[in-house]
Structure 1
Amino acid sequence: MTEQETPGELRARFEALVHAVAQPLHTFLLRRADADAVEDILSETLLVLWRRIDDVPALTTGSEVDPDAVLPWCYGVARGCLANARRADGRRRRLTQRLTLARRPVPAAAADHTDLYAALGTLGDLDREVVLLWAWEGLAPRQIAEATGLTPNAVSIRLHRAKRRLAAQLERKNKRRSGHNRSEGRSKR
């Protein structure tokens, strides 16, 4: 926007540009992209044109827009938006493939975890989230603190208490305390 140009004049200039280039850009994109994606790519192209309206060659305030002067530059913008859309589509496809390959079939004799889920259901929302971040996502208390907004010390306390409540709920068969044996890792000299 030039210093003398008002917001209304800027809008009028953009509308004149859109009037001159929208249909040719639409046709250009129809020849190069899936019909389902054309409208999205065109809207992205027009957004870029709005942001860079001062960069459009031969586009001046108050004058008629010459499509032959502005279209080549606008085609370049549309090509860039089309390339971005293709890259994004490729990333989505690769992610879908990875997720499909990562899904493992559940074995026929899968363990029944209904007791565990019931015990998790007795915990408060924040305690359950702390336990799940620790157990399923493998996060350390410092990382859980960052994700939840708690302090690392508060996470450690919540995790300890929640694990103790879960153990009581599940009535652990092995009453031994978890952790290392005192003799573990020492030589027998």
Structure 2
Amino acid sequence: MKKKHRKGIIFLVPLIILFITILVFIPFKQVLVFEYENTKEVLAYIPLKKEQAFKIKYTHSIHLSDVLESYKIIKNGNIQQYELMFEDFAIGMPSNASEGETFEEIDGKYYIRNMKQTFPYIDLRTGQVRANHRVIFQSNEYSLSDYIEPGTWVRIKMRKLSVIQQLKGVNIIES
């Protein structure tokens, strides 16, 4: 009887080790990830569940007013910009909506809505002086400089992370 028990344990131990290895190293958690440049090194992330929309807010370096870019993750994992809000028609800002989009002015702010620009990722250099890039998720605003060194080039995209990858980055929501 003891021999059968040992054989069961000998068979079960490698199976448990294999299961733990798969659990730790196989990407499974869907996140909005902020990677260092294009290296896939995870700096920070936001876990995604039902809410798959986010916004990036920053202070424009020339006219020093806020710009708010609204995005959502679409079915193929790409990022779609659906709205832009700004306060000044200065350098670097659009002067009107493109075909199929709507342009509105409400309380001194300009909105371009119904945008359908899609990207596999967004490259962003976090501001060092004035920009103060923030990400807004589920009505909460998080300053990227709290998690990512100002001046860093980050790539923002939807990705699945393993437990090990999650440990290497900072969960913006939980920190």
Same fold (TM over 0.5): no
Structure with higher Rg: it is 1
Q: Which has the higher strand share?
A: 2
TM-score computed with the length of structure 1 as normaliser: 0.22
Higher relative contact order (CA 8 A, sep 6+): 2
Q: Which has the higher helix share?
A: 1
